[in-house]
Amino acid sequence: MFALDLISLKDRYEYGSVFSKDGKEFYYAVIVNGKPQIQCSRYDNNSWTSPKTVIGSADYEYNDPFLSPDEQRLYFISDQNKDGKGEKKDFDIWYLERENDMWSQTPINAGPNINTEKNEYYMSFTQTGMMYFSSNGYADQTTGNNYDIRSSPFLEGGFKPSVKLTNAVNSEHYEADVFVAPDEQYIIFCSERPGGLGKGDLYISFKNIEGKWEKAKNMGNVINTEGYEFCPFVTSDGNHLFFSRDGDIYWLQAEVINSLR
């Protein structure tokens, strides 16, 4: 469990974590008064600071934080209306812009090449800015829980229309919470497909020498349990894998990744 009694608190639900590249900023989601919000702890003077709220609301949910490759944007998902007023809607991907050492307080929608009339969840990025995320907003998805992983390149200042990954990764079941390696050589994601160890397991797929995704593998009982594992993240040095389970954030050595190649 990560940062017990500072980040991981008893009787509180935390999940979906990401570090800055230098390891000095830690963002995660936490449920406060029934609504997820995004908090941040900073490493300063050889210790982690008390977490502060980056964005939260009594009306809307904010979670699944992830930093852009240049760390000038903080992406997340939210069910807020586009004008930030009125009833909540489906989950879209949004972002805040960094302003000096602070974050802007006006969320910007990631746009129609990413967001649909249904839900988009948990994003991550390659070093070139390609966004990987999941959605249930497309015509080929037969049920509301049939989330698929998609990718969208960032070109000429904006995201281009996304493409669904192949059946080596996606199934007719839930696939979401995708972490892509910065060099795009592997992805780790959560799936509720049959044959797993629990309600939701972490799976991994590697790219082969032809640049195609290989058939996804269950990451095994080093990580997965009869419960639900989700929100994977690997630190920029490649040494540690973080994930969420039962309202807490866990971490372990990332050697498990190479053992599955």
- pLDDT at site 140: 85
- pLDDT at site 180: 99
Q: Note whether 73 and 64 are within 8 A (CB).
A: no
- pLDDT at site 87: 87
Angle at 241 between CA 237 and CA 245, to 5 degrees: 155
Closest CA to 224 of 205, 183, 252: 252
Query: Which tokens sit at 129?
Result: 């800015």
Query: Which tokens sit at 27?
Result: 């963002």
Residue 141: pLDDT band (50, 70, 90) is: confident
CA dist 45 and 120 (Å) reads: 38
CA dist 247 and 244 (Å) reads: 7
pLDDT in tens, 94-119: 999 999 889 999 999 999 999 999 99
pLDDT in tens, 15-74: 999 999 999 999 999 999 999 999 999 999 999 999 999 999 999 999 999 999 999 999
- Containing 257, the helix (H) or strand (E) segment is helix 255-259
Whether residue 176 is predicted with pLDDT greater than 90 in this model: the reply is yes
Fold observed for domain 14-259: Neuraminidase (2.120.10)
Q: Rounded to an integer, what is the distance from CA 73 to the centroid of its chain?
A: 14
- pLDDT at site 193: 97
pLDDT in tens, 212-243: 999 999 999 999 999 999 999 999 999 999 99
Domain segments of the chain as ranges: 14-259
CA dist 235 and 199 (Å) reads: 26
Closest CA to 223 of 206, 244, 207, 209: 244
Q: How many CB atoms lie within 10 A of CB 9?
A: 15
Task: Report CA Rg, the chain.
Answer: 17
Could you say which DSSP state residue 20 is in? -
pLDDT in tens, 177-217: 999 999 999 999 999 999 999 999 999 999 999 999 999 99
Q: Rounded to an integer, what is the distance from CA 193 to the centroid of its chain?
A: 19
With a CB cutoff of 8 Å and minimum separation 6, the contacts of 195 are 218
